[in-house]
Amino acid sequence: MTEFRLLETGFLDGFTNMAIDEAVMLGHKLEDAPTVRFYGWKPHAVSIGYFQGIGEEVDLPRAKELGADVVRRITGGGAVFHERELTYSFVCSEASKLVSKNIMESYEKICGAIVKGLDELGVEASFAPLNDIIVSGRKISGSAQTRRNGNVLQHGTLLLEVSVDKMFSLLKVPNEKMKGKIVQDVKQRVTSLEQETGREYSFLDVAEAMRKGFEKAFDAKVILGELSSEEKKLAKKIREKFASREWNFRR
Amino acid sequence: MLGKAVYKVPNGKLLKLSLELEENKIKSIRVMGDFFMHPEAGIELIEAALVGQEIDEKLVGLIDNTARENGIEMFGLDSKAVFEAIKIAVGNAK
Protein backbone atom coordinates (compact mmCIF):
# COMPACT_ATOMS: atom_id res chain seq x y z
CA MET A 1 0.00 0.00 0.00
CA THR A 2 1.24 3.46 -0.88
CA GLU A 3 2.34 5.62 2.02
CA PHE A 4 1.53 9.32 2.15
CA ARG A 5 3.19 11.79 4.49
CA LEU A 6 0.87 13.76 6.75
CA LEU A 7 1.87 17.25 7.83
CA GLU A 8 0.07 18.93 10.67
CA THR A 9 1.51 22.39 10.78
CA GLY A 10 -1.07 23.95 13.09
CA PHE A 11 -2.19 27.55 12.83
CA LEU A 12 0.20 29.85 11.01
CA ASP A 13 0.14 33.23 9.32
CA GLY A 14 -1.06 33.43 5.72
CA PHE A 15 2.36 34.04 4.17
CA THR A 16 3.91 31.05 5.92
CA ASN A 17 0.96 28.83 5.04
CA MET A 18 1.24 29.64 1.36
CA ALA A 19 5.02 29.32 1.46
CA ILE A 20 4.89 25.83 2.95
CA ASP A 21 2.48 24.61 0.27
CA GLU A 22 4.71 25.98 -2.47
CA ALA A 23 7.91 24.66 -0.89
CA VAL A 24 6.47 21.16 -0.54
CA MET A 25 5.37 21.22 -4.18
CA LEU A 26 8.67 22.56 -5.54
CA GLY A 27 10.77 20.19 -3.47
CA HIS A 28 8.75 17.08 -4.24
CA LYS A 29 10.35 14.20 -6.15
CA LEU A 30 8.66 11.22 -7.74
CA GLU A 31 10.24 8.85 -5.21
CA ASP A 32 9.00 10.93 -2.25
CA ALA A 33 5.79 10.07 -0.47
CA PRO A 34 2.91 12.29 -1.62
CA THR A 35 2.03 14.84 1.05
CA VAL A 36 -1.26 15.62 2.73
CA ARG A 37 -1.19 18.71 4.93
CA PHE A 38 -3.82 20.13 7.29
CA TYR A 39 -3.56 23.64 8.61
CA GLY A 40 -5.32 26.68 9.97
CA TRP A 41 -4.73 30.42 9.93
CA LYS A 42 -3.57 32.68 12.74
CA PRO A 43 -4.26 35.53 12.42
CA HIS A 44 -7.30 35.02 10.22
CA ALA A 45 -6.55 35.89 6.63
CA VAL A 46 -7.88 36.61 3.18
CA SER A 47 -6.28 34.74 0.31
CA ILE A 48 -6.93 35.91 -3.22
CA GLY A 49 -6.59 33.94 -6.43
CA TYR A 50 -3.52 34.31 -8.65
CA PHE A 51 -5.51 36.27 -11.26
CA GLN A 52 -7.48 38.54 -8.96
CA GLY A 53 -6.91 42.23 -8.41
CA ILE A 54 -6.18 42.81 -4.73
CA GLY A 55 -7.92 46.19 -4.77
CA GLU A 56 -10.88 44.71 -6.64
CA GLU A 57 -11.43 41.98 -4.08
CA VAL A 58 -10.34 43.15 -0.65
CA ASP A 59 -11.26 46.10 1.53
CA LEU A 60 -7.64 46.62 2.52
CA PRO A 61 -8.14 49.28 5.24
CA ARG A 62 -10.78 47.03 6.82
CA ALA A 63 -8.48 43.99 6.66
CA LYS A 64 -5.79 46.02 8.41
CA GLU A 65 -8.25 47.15 11.05
CA LEU A 66 -9.28 43.54 11.72
CA GLY A 67 -5.66 42.36 11.75
CA ALA A 68 -6.20 39.96 8.85
CA ASP A 69 -3.31 38.95 6.58
CA VAL A 70 -3.98 39.39 2.88
CA VAL A 71 -2.04 37.07 0.61
CA ARG A 72 -2.09 36.23 -3.08
CA ARG A 73 -2.07 32.51 -3.81
CA ILE A 74 -0.12 30.79 -6.57
CA THR A 75 -3.38 29.11 -7.53
CA GLY A 76 -6.35 30.56 -9.38
CA GLY A 77 -9.88 30.79 -8.07
CA GLY A 78 -11.56 33.31 -5.83
CA ALA A 79 -10.94 35.30 -2.68
CA VAL A 80 -11.39 33.33 0.54
CA PHE A 81 -11.74 34.56 4.09
CA HIS A 82 -9.96 31.98 6.23
CA GLU A 83 -11.25 31.82 9.74
CA ARG A 84 -13.03 28.78 11.22
CA GLU A 85 -11.97 26.21 8.68
CA LEU A 86 -9.67 23.33 8.05
CA THR A 87 -7.41 23.94 5.11
CA TYR A 88 -5.87 21.00 3.32
CA SER A 89 -3.19 20.66 0.72
CA PHE A 90 -2.09 17.71 -1.34
CA VAL A 91 1.13 17.34 -3.32
CA CYS A 92 2.10 14.51 -5.63
CA SER A 93 4.14 14.02 -8.76
CA GLU A 94 2.24 14.12 -12.06
CA ALA A 95 4.23 11.00 -13.03
CA SER A 96 2.95 9.10 -9.98
CA LYS A 97 -0.38 8.63 -11.81
CA LEU A 98 -2.19 9.14 -8.50
CA VAL A 99 -4.18 11.83 -10.24
CA SER A 100 -5.10 12.29 -13.86
CA LYS A 101 -3.23 14.60 -16.24
CA ASN A 102 -6.70 15.91 -17.01
CA ILE A 103 -7.26 18.81 -14.63
CA MET A 104 -11.03 18.36 -14.26
CA GLU A 105 -10.58 14.68 -13.40
CA SER A 106 -7.80 15.40 -10.94
CA TYR A 107 -9.96 17.87 -9.04
CA GLU A 108 -12.59 15.21 -8.68
CA LYS A 109 -10.08 12.64 -7.46
CA ILE A 110 -8.51 14.87 -4.80
CA CYS A 111 -11.83 16.41 -3.73
CA GLY A 112 -13.02 12.81 -3.39
CA ALA A 113 -10.78 12.52 -0.32
CA ILE A 114 -12.63 15.40 1.34
CA VAL A 115 -15.99 13.92 0.32
CA LYS A 116 -14.96 10.62 1.94
CA GLY A 117 -13.69 12.49 4.99
CA LEU A 118 -17.05 14.21 5.35
CA ASP A 119 -18.67 10.80 5.07
CA GLU A 120 -16.58 9.78 8.12
CA LEU A 121 -18.34 12.61 9.97
CA GLY A 122 -21.75 11.43 8.76
CA VAL A 123 -22.14 14.24 6.26
CA GLU A 124 -23.23 13.33 2.76
CA ALA A 125 -21.31 15.49 0.32
CA SER A 126 -20.58 15.47 -3.38
CA PHE A 127 -18.12 16.97 -5.80
CA ALA A 128 -19.46 19.88 -7.87
CA PRO A 129 -17.25 20.73 -10.85
CA LEU A 130 -14.99 22.51 -11.27
CA ASN A 131 -13.64 22.92 -7.79
CA ASP A 132 -16.37 22.74 -5.14
CA ILE A 133 -17.79 20.25 -2.70
CA ILE A 134 -21.44 20.62 -1.80
CA VAL A 135 -23.73 19.40 0.95
CA SER A 136 -27.50 19.65 0.36
CA GLY A 137 -26.79 21.82 -2.67
CA ARG A 138 -24.63 24.30 -0.75
CA LYS A 139 -20.89 24.84 -0.97
CA ILE A 140 -18.90 23.61 2.03
CA SER A 141 -15.48 23.38 0.43
CA GLY A 142 -13.59 25.03 -2.42
CA SER A 143 -10.25 24.02 -3.90
CA ALA A 144 -7.62 25.31 -6.27
CA GLN A 145 -4.86 23.53 -8.10
CA THR A 146 -1.59 24.33 -9.80
CA ARG A 147 1.15 22.30 -11.42
CA ARG A 148 4.84 23.18 -11.38
CA ASN A 149 8.05 21.19 -11.83
CA GLY A 150 6.00 18.14 -12.81
CA ASN A 151 4.17 18.20 -9.49
CA VAL A 152 0.56 18.81 -8.58
CA LEU A 153 -0.49 21.03 -5.68
CA GLN A 154 -4.11 21.25 -4.72
CA HIS A 155 -5.22 23.16 -1.67
CA GLY A 156 -8.66 23.95 -0.39
CA THR A 157 -10.86 24.89 2.50
CA LEU A 158 -13.43 23.00 4.51
CA LEU A 159 -15.71 25.35 6.41
CA LEU A 160 -16.20 24.41 10.05
CA GLU A 161 -18.28 27.51 10.69
CA VAL A 162 -19.02 30.46 8.45
CA SER A 163 -19.86 34.08 9.08
CA VAL A 164 -20.90 35.49 5.71
CA ASP A 165 -21.42 38.98 7.18
CA LYS A 166 -17.87 39.07 8.52
CA MET A 167 -16.57 37.67 5.24
CA PHE A 168 -18.18 40.54 3.34
CA SER A 169 -16.92 43.14 5.77
CA LEU A 170 -13.52 42.29 4.25
CA LEU A 171 -14.36 41.20 0.71
CA LYS A 172 -15.61 43.64 -1.88
CA VAL A 173 -18.56 42.95 -4.16
CA PRO A 174 -18.66 44.01 -7.83
CA ASN A 175 -21.66 46.26 -7.22
CA GLU A 176 -21.80 47.99 -3.85
CA LYS A 177 -25.50 48.88 -4.32
CA MET A 178 -26.32 45.18 -4.63
CA LYS A 179 -24.27 44.18 -1.59
CA GLY A 180 -27.27 43.28 0.57
CA LYS A 181 -28.65 40.94 -2.06
CA ILE A 182 -25.24 39.42 -2.84
CA VAL A 183 -24.63 38.68 0.85
CA GLN A 184 -28.09 37.08 1.12
CA ASP A 185 -27.37 34.94 -1.97
CA VAL A 186 -24.06 33.77 -0.55
CA LYS A 187 -25.79 32.86 2.73
CA GLN A 188 -28.12 30.66 0.71
CA ARG A 189 -25.32 29.07 -1.29
CA VAL A 190 -22.73 28.42 1.44
CA THR A 191 -22.83 26.10 4.40
CA SER A 192 -20.48 24.73 7.07
CA LEU A 193 -19.98 21.55 9.03
CA GLU A 194 -21.58 23.10 12.08
CA GLN A 195 -24.52 24.42 10.11
CA GLU A 196 -25.13 20.99 8.59
CA THR A 197 -24.82 18.96 11.76
CA GLY A 198 -25.69 21.38 14.54
CA ARG A 199 -22.50 20.21 16.25
CA GLU A 200 -19.27 21.94 17.09
CA TYR A 201 -16.13 20.27 15.80
CA SER A 202 -12.55 20.54 16.92
CA PHE A 203 -9.97 21.15 14.23
CA LEU A 204 -8.20 17.92 15.15
CA ASP A 205 -11.31 15.75 14.93
CA VAL A 206 -12.01 17.07 11.46
CA ALA A 207 -8.37 16.62 10.46
CA GLU A 208 -8.52 12.99 11.57
CA ALA A 209 -11.67 12.39 9.53
CA MET A 210 -10.03 13.97 6.48
CA ARG A 211 -6.89 11.88 6.99
CA LYS A 212 -9.10 8.80 6.78
CA GLY A 213 -10.79 10.31 3.73
CA PHE A 214 -7.42 10.52 1.94
CA GLU A 215 -6.61 6.94 2.96
CA LYS A 216 -9.85 5.71 1.45
CA ALA A 217 -9.79 7.84 -1.70
CA PHE A 218 -6.21 6.87 -2.56
CA ASP A 219 -6.06 3.43 -0.94
CA ALA A 220 -3.04 4.71 0.99
CA LYS A 221 -1.66 4.88 4.52
CA VAL A 222 -1.43 8.51 5.60
CA ILE A 223 1.27 8.66 8.26
CA LEU A 224 2.28 11.63 10.37
CA GLY A 225 5.61 13.08 9.31
CA GLU A 226 7.28 16.45 9.29
CA LEU A 227 8.79 19.01 7.00
CA SER A 228 12.38 18.25 6.04
CA SER A 229 15.06 20.82 6.85
CA GLU A 230 15.33 21.58 3.10
CA GLU A 231 11.59 22.21 2.90
CA LYS A 232 11.74 24.47 5.96
CA LYS A 233 14.61 26.42 4.45
CA LEU A 234 12.83 26.76 1.11
CA ALA A 235 9.56 27.77 2.80
CA LYS A 236 11.35 30.48 4.77
CA LYS A 237 12.76 31.89 1.56
CA ILE A 238 9.45 31.67 -0.33
CA ARG A 239 7.62 33.33 2.57
CA GLU A 240 9.43 36.56 1.69
CA LYS A 241 7.68 36.55 -1.68
CA PHE A 242 4.24 35.99 -0.18
CA ALA A 243 4.77 38.78 2.34
CA SER A 244 5.98 41.22 -0.30
CA ARG A 245 4.00 44.09 -1.74
CA GLU A 246 5.42 43.27 -5.16
CA TRP A 247 3.76 39.84 -5.16
CA ASN A 248 0.47 40.74 -3.50
CA PHE A 249 -0.13 43.92 -5.49
CA ARG A 250 0.98 42.58 -8.88
CA ARG A 251 -2.66 42.76 -9.97
CA MET B 1 -8.86 56.37 -21.97
CA LEU B 2 -9.40 53.88 -19.19
CA GLY B 3 -12.18 51.34 -19.10
CA LYS B 4 -13.31 48.60 -16.76
CA ALA B 5 -15.67 45.69 -17.07
CA VAL B 6 -17.19 43.05 -14.83
CA TYR B 7 -18.51 40.14 -16.86
CA LYS B 8 -19.99 36.87 -15.66
CA VAL B 9 -18.74 34.21 -18.03
CA PRO B 10 -21.73 32.04 -19.07
CA ASN B 11 -21.32 28.81 -17.05
CA GLY B 12 -18.02 30.18 -15.85
CA LYS B 13 -16.36 32.52 -13.40
CA LEU B 14 -16.51 36.26 -12.80
CA LEU B 15 -14.19 38.16 -15.10
CA LYS B 16 -12.93 41.62 -14.15
CA LEU B 17 -11.04 43.46 -16.80
CA SER B 18 -9.43 46.84 -17.02
CA LEU B 19 -7.76 48.37 -20.03
CA GLU B 20 -6.17 51.52 -21.33
CA LEU B 21 -7.02 52.64 -24.85
CA GLU B 22 -4.92 54.83 -27.10
CA GLU B 23 -6.07 55.68 -30.62
CA ASN B 24 -8.57 52.81 -30.49
CA LYS B 25 -5.85 50.32 -29.68
CA ILE B 26 -5.23 48.49 -26.42
CA LYS B 27 -2.31 50.16 -24.68
CA SER B 28 -2.45 48.00 -21.58
CA ILE B 29 -4.80 45.36 -20.22
CA ARG B 30 -5.38 43.35 -17.06
CA VAL B 31 -7.54 40.24 -17.21
CA MET B 32 -8.56 39.43 -13.64
CA GLY B 33 -11.00 37.19 -11.86
CA ASP B 34 -11.61 33.93 -10.05
CA PHE B 35 -10.99 31.71 -13.07
CA PHE B 36 -8.21 29.14 -13.51
CA MET B 37 -5.49 28.98 -16.09
CA HIS B 38 -2.71 26.42 -16.43
CA PRO B 39 0.07 27.38 -16.46
CA GLU B 40 -0.82 30.52 -14.53
CA ALA B 41 1.87 32.60 -16.24
CA GLY B 42 -0.15 32.16 -19.44
CA ILE B 43 -2.20 35.19 -18.45
CA GLU B 44 0.77 37.48 -19.03
CA LEU B 45 1.26 36.00 -22.50
CA ILE B 46 -2.37 36.57 -23.39
CA GLU B 47 -2.31 40.13 -22.05
CA ALA B 48 0.91 40.84 -23.97
CA ALA B 49 -0.66 39.49 -27.18
CA LEU B 50 -3.61 41.87 -26.77
CA VAL B 51 -1.46 44.98 -26.36
CA GLY B 52 -1.35 47.08 -29.52
CA GLN B 53 -4.45 45.43 -30.99
CA GLU B 54 -7.58 47.12 -32.27
CA ILE B 55 -10.93 46.14 -30.79
CA ASP B 56 -12.10 43.57 -33.27
CA GLU B 57 -13.65 40.10 -33.34
CA LYS B 58 -10.21 38.86 -34.48
CA LEU B 59 -9.07 39.14 -30.85
CA VAL B 60 -10.96 35.89 -30.12
CA GLY B 61 -8.72 34.01 -32.57
CA LEU B 62 -5.66 35.81 -31.29
CA ILE B 63 -6.34 34.65 -27.72
CA ASP B 64 -7.09 31.11 -28.90
CA ASN B 65 -3.85 30.99 -30.91
CA THR B 66 -1.80 32.33 -27.99
CA ALA B 67 -3.35 29.68 -25.76
CA ARG B 68 -2.75 26.87 -28.25
CA GLU B 69 0.82 27.86 -29.04
CA ASN B 70 1.71 28.03 -25.34
CA GLY B 71 -0.29 25.04 -24.10
CA ILE B 72 -2.52 27.26 -21.97
CA GLU B 73 -5.71 25.72 -20.61
CA MET B 74 -8.51 27.89 -19.23
CA PHE B 75 -11.28 26.95 -16.84
CA GLY B 76 -14.25 29.18 -16.15
CA LEU B 77 -13.01 31.54 -18.86
CA ASP B 78 -12.62 31.49 -22.62
CA SER B 79 -11.50 33.77 -25.43
CA LYS B 80 -15.07 34.86 -26.26
CA ALA B 81 -15.64 35.93 -22.68
CA VAL B 82 -12.44 37.99 -22.68
CA PHE B 83 -13.57 39.68 -25.89
CA GLU B 84 -17.04 40.39 -24.45
CA ALA B 85 -15.43 41.98 -21.40
CA ILE B 86 -13.08 43.99 -23.63
CA LYS B 87 -16.10 45.39 -25.51
CA ILE B 88 -17.81 46.33 -22.25
CA ALA B 89 -14.64 47.99 -20.94
CA VAL B 90 -14.27 49.93 -24.19
CA GLY B 91 -17.91 51.04 -23.90
CA ASN B 92 -17.19 52.26 -20.36
CA ALA B 93 -13.89 53.90 -21.25
CA LYS B 94 -13.46 57.57 -20.50
Domain boundaries, chain A: 2-248
Report pLDDT digits (tens) over A215-231. Answer: 999 999 999 999 999 99
- Residue B51 and residue A128: Cα distance in Å, rounded? 36
**Are B30 and A147 inside 8 Å of each other by CB?**
no
| Distance separating alpha carbons of residues A31 and A34, to the nearest angstrom | 9
Nearest CA in chain B to A55: B32
Our count of domains for chain B comes to 1
Cβ–Cβ below 8 Å for A56 and B14: no
Per DSSP, the three-state class of A162 is coil
Q: What is the CATH number of the domain that holds B8?
A: 3.30.390.50
Using CA atoms, how far residue B73 sits from A94, A183, B10, B16, B49, in Å, is 16, 31, 17, 19, 16
With an 8 Å Cβ cutoff, are A56 and B32 in contact? yes
B71 touches chain A (CB under 8 A): no
Indicate if the pLDDT at residue B71 is higher than 90: yes
Asked whether the bond before B62 is cis by omega within 30 degrees of 0, the reply is: no
From chain A, pick out residues whose CB is under 8 angstroms from the CB of B6: 174-175
- Whether B30 has its CB under 8 Å from any CB of chain A: the answer is yes
Instruction: Please provide the average confidence, as pLDDT, over all residues in chain A.
Output: 96
Instruction: With beta carbons less than 8 A apart as the criterion, state whether B27 and B89 touch.
Output: no
The range of the structural domain enclosing residue B36 comes to 2-92
B33 touches chain A (CB under 8 A): yes
Distance from CA of A53 to the nearest CA of B (A): 6
Q: Who among B6, B39, B43 is closest to A51 (CB)?
A: B43
Residues of B in contact with A50 (CB under 8 A): 40, 43
Residue in A25, A51, A152, A153 to test binding to B, most B beta-carbons within 10 Å: A51
B25 touches chain A (CB under 8 A): no
Q: Where are the alpha helices (DSSP H) in chain A?
A: 14-27, 54-57, 60-65, 103-120, 164-170, 179-189, 193-197, 203-218, 229-242, 245-248
CA–CA dist A187, A200 (Å, integer):
19
Residue to mutate among B29, B34, B74, with most A CBs inside 10 A, is B34
B19 CB within 8 Å of a chain A CB: no
How far off is chain B from A75, nearest CA to CA, in Å? 8
* Chain A residue at shortest CA distance from B44: A51
**Quick check: helix, strand or coil at residue A108?**
helix
Q: Percent helix, strand and coil across chain B, each rounded to 5?
A: 35, 35, 30
- Residue pLDDT, tens place only, A113-162: 999 999 999 999 999 999 999 999 999 999 999 999 999 999 999 999 99
Name the residue among A77, A148, A175 with its Cβ closest to that of B36: A77
pLDDT at A176: 84
Contact A13, A45 (CB under 8 A): yes
pLDDT in tens for each of the 251 residues of chain A? 799 999 999 999 999 999 999 999 999 999 999 999 999 999 999 999 999 999 999 999 999 999 999 999 999 999 999 999 999 999 999 999 999 999 999 999 999 999 999 999 999 999 999 999 999 999 999 999 999 999 999 999 999 999 999 999 999 998 888 899 999 999 999 999 999 999 999 999 999 999 999 999 999 999 999 999 999 999 999 999 999 999 999 99
Give the residue from chain A lying closest to B31, CA to CA: A51
pLDDT at residue A23 in the model = 98
Task: For residue A146, give the chain B residue with the closest CA.
Answer: B38
Topology adopted by domain A2-248: BirA Bifunctional Protein; domain 2 (3.30.930)
What does the pLDDT average to over B47-53? 98
User: Cβ contact (<8 Å) for A174 and B16?
Assistant: yes
